[in-house]
Amino acid sequence: MIRIDSIRQKRCQEMYLALCTHAANRTGCDFEGLSGRLRDARTCRVRSCVLIVMREQGYKYLEIAIASEREYTTIYNAFQSFLKNAQEYEGMWALVRELRDVAAELEDREIVHNV
């Protein structure tokens, strides 16, 4: 049985929602669609940017799956597809860089808050 740290999972959920909010504002994608079940190509690419940054922040596929209310394999396959087709996502790398900055700010706030 896999044990999930509830505090870490809460942070993962907060990070996911914050990154989706920023990505939605930046790209004009609908937040509900981005954080929900919308599956058009543009929304999926933007959502993949969020997943890339979440993995870079050290969250496991399962943690991201729970936070995004998706299946583990959906997260894994989206991540692999993004990396495999990185050249097609050329315009999305700017968004990934911005999301990295947002994630870093969130982590800094978390560190300060816990001191």
- Residue 17 is given by DSSP the state H
Q: Looking at the domain assignment, is residue 71 inside a domain?
A: yes
Q: Which residue has the higher pLDDT, 46 or 86?
A: 46
pLDDT for the residue 37: 86
Is residue 103 over pLDDT 50?
A: yes
Q: Do residues 20 and 67 make contact, with C-beta atoms less than 8 angstroms apart?
A: no
Examine the pLDDT at 111 and tell me if it is beyond 60. Answer: no
Which residue range(s) make up the domain with 89?
6-114
**Residue 31: partners with Cβ closer than 8 Å, 6 or more residues away:** 20, 21, 24
Establish if 1 belongs to a structural domain: no
Note whether residue 10 is domain-resident.
yes
Which of 38-42, 85-89, 111-115 reaches the highest mean pLDDT?
Answer: 38-42
How far is 56 from 68, CA to CA, in rounded Å? 16
Which residue, chain included where needed, has tokens 């989206």? 78
CATH for 56: 1.10.1750.10
Provide the token pair at 74: 């959906």
pLDDT of 29 higher than 60: yes
As for how many domains the chain has, the answer is 1
pLDDT bin (cut points 50, 70, 90) of residue 115 is very low
Q: How many angstroms separate the CA atoms of 44 and 3, rounded?
A: 29
In a domain, 37, yes or no: yes
